[in-house]
Amino acid sequence: MPPLGILYLAAVLEQSQHQVEVIPCDVLNYSLADVRRIVADTQPDIVGCTSTTENRFDSFDLIRSVKAVNPDIVTVLGGPHISMAREDTVYHLAELDYAVIGEGEYTLLELVKALENGGDPAAVPGLVMRRDGKVLFTGEREPIEDLDELPMPARHLIPMEKYHFMVTTRDGRKRKAQNIMTSRGCPFNCYFCATPITWGRKMRGFSTERVINEMQFLIDNYDAEFIWFYDDTLNYNPTRLQKLMETIIEKDWGIKFCNEFRIDLIDKPMLELMMRAGLDFGFFGIEAGNARIRRDVVQKKFDVELAYRFVEWAGELGFTANAFLIFSHYSEGWLEALESINIMNRIKEINGETEITTAILHIYPGTPLEKIAIDEGLFPKDFSWTRKGDMKRVHVLPAAQGHVPLFKHRLSWFQIADLVMRWSATKKKLVSSSKVRQAFSNLSSLKDLFVYGVFFLVMMKYRLKKLINPASKPSLGDDIKKMGN
């Protein structure tokens, strides 16, 4: 997808008459050598990039490469990882001059103006920098109240034709897709999530008119036939959502779209309205099958019956639902974890077209989960998110889950692997041999070899069971009986 965060920053700088170039290294297949060549040829005043926790080491290498070409170039990092691991990153990454925290449009603009006019960047709120040998945070910046004052993302600065962003909709048609974000913030308290740290807890939304104008722009200029709403929760405000859907229906564009839901904030009449507007795919989080884990640990306080109702509505109305579940929560025992598999099977019984996505629980910096991991002794207190060598001190599966520490508490690797294979069985296919080969080709330690070996053995166990009894399906009840015996 086009990088909306970077493109918003570029648009704000362009609006203030600054010359900006955006280089999407991913779609252009640029290496660090290509970046160094471009920097040497163009000699920019400032180079910035975004960083997620998954790709942070690539971002750090890019910053180092820029300084290697010309130490006088000012380097800036932003993005969700930097907002969560701000002091750690600036302290350990000597080549980084400034970290932009949270909502970055006006922070970056004011930083550029300060550097241009000889001002003091320490007076710009929302920055982390070094000053007198110490890490200095210049203070929190107030969130942008009226998002409509922001220009549209500067999509004209990237080669949009190279993204090949296509979505196959339920009618079998391949549609040209574009992404859009209509709101920022999250008022909820999921213990593993970084969104409130990055965007704040207060929900702020673009006006319906602004959203419609941007959608019209994407249709007119990029032939958009599918819109991917990238909001964390599109339905946070039912009144706003209703107005948006009614306006899309009035426009009669014939587009399709997808979005994420809070299923405790949606009803069937609203879904019927969204279907008329073009809803084709709806994501929602269950996170944990066990009620105690979901309510008291994850802090997602709804009954699983809401999930069953949502997928039933999806089947009746004709859109595809996608449920998210996570394995290996804090304090989660084996039977509690198996309840997630039970819920998956129940969802598939209600609506066989439902998609189910899972992951092993990731630890992100600055979240309540990181503090739990430290308190439980699962995470070194002197761990640095910036030192690649520190990844050997935590649980990580880079080939499958990226360079993000995994939270492994009460469950063994055999149990986690078993859960993954059971989830795979709900999709009526086991993990492919190619993925296993890819994992083994990315081994970096004996610990990796052990963990991937465990996954391989469990996979082979399930394949053997499938050969012996093709109709077999692991169930929660069977395991409870075994525990009782």
User: Per-residue pLDDT tens for 306-315?
Assistant: 999 999 999 9
Amino acid at 41: D
- My answer on whether 127 and 262 are in the same domain is no
Look at residue 432 in the predicted model and tell me its pLDDT: 60
- My answer on whether 308 and 230 are in the same domain is yes
- My answer on whether 429 and 337 are in the same domain is no
Range of the structural domain that residue 216 is part of: 165-361
* Within-domain flag for 145: no
User: Per-residue pLDDT tens for 71-106?
Assistant: 999 999 999 999 999 999 999 999 999 999 999 999
* Within-domain flag for 461: yes
What total number of domains does the chain contain?
Answer: 3
- Mean pLDDT (whole number) for 117-140: 96
- My answer on whether 129 and 183 are in the same domain is no
User: Per-residue pLDDT tens for 331-364?
Assistant: 999 999 999 999 999 999 999 999 999 999 999 9
Q: How confident is the model at residue 485 (pLDDT cuts 50, 70, 90)?
A: very low
Look at residue 189 in the predicted model and tell me its pLDDT: 84
- My answer on whether 120 and 196 are in the same domain is no
**Three-state SS sequence of the chain:** CCCHHHHHHHHHHHHCCCCCCCCCHHHHCCCHHHHHHHHHHHCCCEEEEECCCCCHHHHHHHHHHHHHHCCCCEEEEECHHHHHCHHHHHHHCCCCCEEECCCCHHHHHHHHHHHHHCCCHHHCCCEEEEECCEEEECCCCCCCCCHHHCCCCCHHHCCHHHCCCEEECCCCCEEEEEEECCEECCCCCCCCCCHHHHHCCCCEECCHHHHHHHHHHHHHHHCCCEEEECCCCCCCCHHHHHHHHHHHHHHCCCCEEEEEECHHHCCHHHHHHHHHHCEEEEEEEEECCCHHHHHHHCCCCCCCHHHHHHHHHHHHHCCEEEEEEEECCCCCCHHHHHHHHHHHHHHHHHCCCCEEEEEECECCCCCHHHHHHHHCCCCCCCCCCCCHHHHHHCCCCHHHHCCCCECCCCCCHHHHHHHHHHHHHHCCCCCCHHHHHHHHHCCCCHHHHHHHHHHHHHHHHHHHHHHHCCCCCCCHHHHHHHHHC
* Lowest-pLDDT range of 205-219, 253-267, 414-428: 414-428
Whole-prediction pTM value?
A: 0.91
- My answer on whether 214 and 325 are in the same domain is yes
Q: Which one of 319, 334, 361 terminates a domain?
A: 361
- My answer on whether 202 and 273 are in the same domain is yes
Report residue 19 as tokens.
């010359």
CA distances from 402 to 5, 418, 431 (A): 21, 20, 18
Here the CATH number for the domain that contains residue 312 is: 3.20.20.70
- My answer on whether 225 and 352 are in the same domain is yes
User: Per-residue pLDDT tens for 384-417?
Assistant: 999 999 988 998 887 666 789 999 999 999 999 9
- My answer on whether 320 and 424 are in the same domain is no
* Within-domain flag for 399: no
Residue 42 CA neighbour count, 13 Å, CB half: 17
Look at residue 186 in the predicted model and tell me its pLDDT: 85
* Within-domain flag for 396: no
User: Per-residue pLDDT tens for 462-476?
Assistant: 888 877 776 665 554
Residue 445 has pLDDT above 90, yes or no: no
More confident residue, 379 or 174: 174
- My answer on whether 188 and 255 are in the same domain is yes
* Within-domain flag for 355: yes
How much of the chain exceeds pLDDT 90, in percent? Answer: 78
Q: Which one of 361, 382, 403 terminates a domain?
A: 361
- My answer on whether 131 and 169 are in the same domain is no
Q: Which one of 117, 137, 157 terminates a domain?
A: 137
Here the CATH number for the domain that contains residue 24 is: 3.40.50.280
Residue 69 has pLDDT above 90, yes or no: yes
* Within-domain flag for 406: no
- My answer on whether 109 and 174 are in the same domain is no
Nearest Cα residue to 383 out of 53, 135, 45, 100: 53
* Within-domain flag for 151: no
User: Per-residue pLDDT tens for 25-49?
Assistant: 999 999 999 999 999 999 999 999 9
User: Per-residue pLDDT tens for 161-175?
Assistant: 999 999 999 999 999
Look at residue 51 in the predicted model and tell me its pLDDT: 94
Look at residue 392 in the predicted model and tell me its pLDDT: 87
